[in-house]
Amino acid sequence: MKTLFSKSLMVATLSSTLVLAGCGGGSAMSNEQLNTVVGSVVGGVIGHQFGKGDGRTVMTIVGTVLGGYIGGQMGRNMNAYDQRKVSDTLDNAPNYQKVSWDNNETNSEYSFTPINSYEANVNGQRSQCRDYILDVRDKRTGQPMQVQGRSCRNAQGQWVAVK
């Protein structure tokens, strides 16, 4: 019964997140919405690794909410300029070379550090991947945020975040 409840809760949480994120009219999801969805899913998966019984369910919910919040904040702050900087860094910077920039339009400071390069199987295809650390500081509040993630090239050669 608890397993059924836990699985049902996970499905309901993911479904609700996808439905709510898709409510932006007929257009594609914004960067903030997409990162909220990805952050929620990744946070839920990570949270599910902790606790036992009802505690695991609580940790899954906490991970989903926290991941969605962090993902949404990242998506809200990163614009096309920042995404180009990240892509250029993934293309050109050697492992452990930090690349930093300011974006006055979003009032954010970024430091992006690729830490590992390798090939992996992504959606059934071999792909070039890189792990990274992204540090962001909101210049208005001084609030820092750090995200560790992984990006891989898709079939079109673009870098996309993966779990």
The pLDDT, as a whole number, for residue 63 is 74
| Residue 109 · residue 96 · CB < 8 Å | no
Asked which of 16-20, 139-143, 146-150 is least confident by mean pLDDT, the reply is 16-20
- Looking at residues 52-77, what average pLDDT do you find? 71
For residues 86 and 158, give the distance between their C-alpha atoms in angstroms, rounded to a whole number.
11
The pLDDT, as a whole number, for residue 59 is 75
SS (H, E, C) 54-96: HHHHHHHHHHHHHHHHHHHHHHHHCCHHHHHHHHHHHHHCCCC
Instruction: Give me the residue spans of the domains in the chain.
Output: 2-77, 80-162
- Looking at residues 134-157, what average pLDDT do you find? 90
The pLDDT, as a whole number, for residue 38 is 67
The pLDDT, as a whole number, for residue 131 is 96
Going by their DSSP bridges, the two strands 144-153 and 99-103 should be labelled as unpaired
pLDDT over 90 percentage in the chain: 33
Mean per-residue pLDDT over the chain, rounded = 77
| Residue 133 · residue 140 · CB < 8 Å | no
- Looking at residues 8-36, what average pLDDT do you find? 48
Residue 8 has pLDDT above 60, yes or no: no
SS (H, E, C) 9-63: HHHHHHHHHHHHHCCCCCCCCCHHHHHHHHHHHHHHHHHCCCCCCHHHHHHHHHH
Using a cut of 0.75, tell me whether the model's pTM lies above it. no
Residue 5 has pLDDT above 50, yes or no: no
